[in-house]
């Protein structure tokens, strides 16, 4: 039996987004469990598809003791505030210092955290943990598939293990793999060999999905190469919304034999390079998408419109109305948009009551160019408290509390309001307000890819829509200033030139 300290601190930072993540954001959690410490971590995360849950289950199955440190997550946004970072990491390292002698450390990290004072949040977390435990205690972390893996992260960690699915249906499984890697390192009595290959282009979130090519094929290849070379491999397509020099795609690997690890990393990196043209993805304007959906959508096989640029899972606030305006203009039958995050309008609907009509001003001003609140008459057709448990493949077991919810209708179009920021990635978010997704013709979802886990199986077609929002579908749309010179801003696209 070993003593493995367990903690986590997750945030995906879009440096172009309008709102920062303060300490309160981690206390609330957004769609994630709330910030917790010590012995409260394991029961708080129990049963959820979360990396730390998978790691704890694997470590407990091996009879290891797992003192808790700190675990917190918040919805993607702009930078984590200095106060939030220092308070949470300070608590984590203080508890680690007080834990006495530990045999190893497991951390549930994202890999794309940027703070008000640090480009590389995870590199700093790992460095501070390393200072507490010293050079001989293995430190292993699980990472999101969208991690921007940095040199500091590779230096201070003995192992990094990323998700292999997008939508992230394997979050708990990634935590379990990280725990297994940690146990393998302990058994060897020395660190494993490691290697990393950064790649030279960025690609938008929607084209990173493992439900489509080339991601589906590349992750199948990853598993074959991994087995052939006895190497634990990860391919991280990166989070292409963080303006700092190590925003990048990468392949990383760990194993007993340095030469085999390097060969495995190189083989997968070459395959990703060869697949670069396939990462280009067709994008649609709101009007184009609605017109096509009206032609092809039917009850039992809806067309899904992904409102990707206002995705709360990538830094959007879920409050822009460009796609909603396009739906209202054409008024298609059996059309639903959700979730529009607008606490004031949801509260107004609750005060008005079911069956009442009134004037609403939908969408909050979040500072996003092109964002215009949508005003008009709507009928209140459903109310709910926003408390439910998700059932889909990615968020299964997540206990949601997204505040007062309401369904408004104008003509044939309904809009689902929520009070707290979360992306529309689980059918239960709609069933909770009396809407059965498969009975619609058009489903407009404020999500980039995570919706695919629960909605793609019922969809006739998925269209990626470029309505206003801060989570740009095409990385060339961002005003980059700090990337590494020569990095291509999209597949086969222009190279970044800081003086160009």
Q: Give dist(CA 66, CA 183) in Å, integer.
A: 13
| Contact criterion met (CB below 8 Å) for 44 and 165 | no
Mean pLDDT for 301-312 is 96
500 pLDDT band, cuts 50/70/90, is low
Residue 30's pLDDT is what? Answer: 84
Residue 499's pLDDT is what? Answer: 79
Residue 371's pLDDT is what? Answer: 74
pLDDT tens digits, one per residue of 234-285: 999 999 999 999 999 999 999 999 999 999 999 999 999 999 999 998 999 9
Give the other-Cβ count within 10 Å of 178's Cβ: 28
Residue 397's pLDDT is what? Answer: 87
Residue 31's pLDDT is what? Answer: 84
pLDDT tens digits, one per residue of 315-370: 999 999 999 999 999 999 999 999 999 999 999 999 999 999 999 999 976 767 76
Residue 109's pLDDT is what? Answer: 98
CA distances from 143 to 11, 50, 111, 167, 417 (A): 11, 11, 6, 14, 31
Q: Give dist(CA 26, CA 88) in Å, integer.
A: 9
Residue 365's pLDDT is what? Answer: 64
pLDDT tens digits, one per residue of 411-433: 999 999 999 999 999 999 999 99
Residue 26's pLDDT is what? Answer: 98
Could you identify the residue written with the tokens 């990860």? 234
Residue 173's pLDDT is what? Answer: 98
Closest CA to 6 of 58, 81, 69, 96: 69
Question: What is the rounded average pLDDT for all residues in the chain?
Answer: 96
Contacts of 81 (CB under 8 A, 6+ apart): 20, 21, 22, 23, 115, 116
CA distances from 183 to 53, 70, 97, 165, 190 (A): 16, 21, 22, 23, 11
pLDDT tens digits, one per residue of 288-305: 999 999 999 999 999 999
Give one DSSP letter per residue of 164-218, joined into a string.
--SS-TTHHHHHHHHHHHHHHHHHHTSPPEEEEEE-SB---GGGG-TTSTTHHHH
Residue 372's pLDDT is what? Answer: 77
């Amino acid at each position: 039996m070993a003593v493995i300290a367990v903690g986590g601190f997750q945030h995906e930072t879009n440096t172009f987004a309008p709102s920062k993540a303060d300490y309160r954001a981690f206390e609330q959690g957004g769609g994630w469990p709330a910030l917790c410490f010590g012995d409260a971590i394991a029961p708080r995360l129990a049963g959820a598809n979360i990396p730390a849950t998978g790691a704890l289950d694997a470590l407990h199955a091996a009879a290891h003791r797992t003192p808790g440190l700190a675990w917190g997550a918040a919805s993607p946004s702009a930078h984590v505030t200095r106060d939030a970072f220092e308070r949470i990491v300070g608590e984590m390292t203080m508890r680690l210092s007080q834990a006495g002698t530990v045999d190893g450390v497991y951390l549930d990290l994202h890999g794309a955290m940027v703070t008000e004072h640090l480009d590389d949040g995870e590199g700093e977390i790992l460095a501070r943990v390393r200072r507490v435990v010293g050079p001989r205690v293995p430190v292993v972390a699980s990472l999101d598939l969208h991690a921007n893996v940095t040199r500091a992260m590779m230096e201070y960690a003995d192992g990094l293990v990323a998700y292999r699915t997008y939508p992230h249906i394997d979050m708990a499984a990634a935590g379990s793999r990280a725990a297994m890697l940690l146990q393998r390192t302990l058994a060897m009595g020395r660190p494993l060999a490691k290697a990393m290959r950064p790649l030279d282009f960025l690609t938008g979130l929607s084209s990173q999905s493992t439900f489509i090519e080339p991601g589906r094929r590349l992750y199948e290849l990853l598993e074959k190469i991994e087995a052939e070379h006895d190497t634990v491999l990860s391919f991280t397509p990166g989070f292409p919304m963080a303006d700092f020099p190590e925003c990048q795609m990468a392949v990383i690997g760990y194993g007993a034999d340095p030469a085999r690890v390097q060969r495995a990393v190189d083989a997968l990196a070459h395959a990703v390079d060869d697949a670069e043209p396939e990462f280009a993805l067709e994008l649609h304007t709101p009007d184009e998408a609605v017109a096509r959906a009206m032609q092809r959508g039917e009850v039992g096989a809806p067309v899904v419109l992904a409102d990707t640029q206002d995705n709360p899972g990538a830094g959007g606030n879920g409050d822009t109305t460009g796609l909603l305006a396009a739906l209202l203009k054409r008024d298609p039958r059996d059309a639903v948009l959700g979730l529009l995050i607008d606490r004031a309008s949801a509260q107004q609907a609750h005060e008005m009551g079911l069956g009442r009509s009134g004037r609403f001003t939908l969408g909050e001003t979040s500072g996003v160019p092109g964002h215009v609140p949508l005003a008009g008459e709507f009928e209140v057709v459903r109310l709910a408290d926003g408390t439910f448990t998700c059932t889909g493949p990615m968020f299964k077991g997540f206990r949601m509390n997204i505040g007062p919810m309401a369904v408004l209708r104008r003509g044939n179009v309904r809009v689902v309001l929520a009070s707290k920021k979360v992306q529309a990635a689980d059918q239960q978010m709609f069933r909770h307000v009396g809407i059965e997704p498969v009975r619609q013709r058009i489903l407009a979802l404020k999500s980039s890819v995570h919706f695919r886990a629960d909605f793609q199986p019922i969809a006739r077609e998925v269209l990626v829509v470029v309505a206003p929002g801060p989570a740009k579908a095409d990385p060339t749309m961002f005003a980059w200033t700090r990337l590494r010179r020569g990095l291509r801003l999209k597949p086969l696209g222009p190279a970044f030139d800081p003086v160009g």
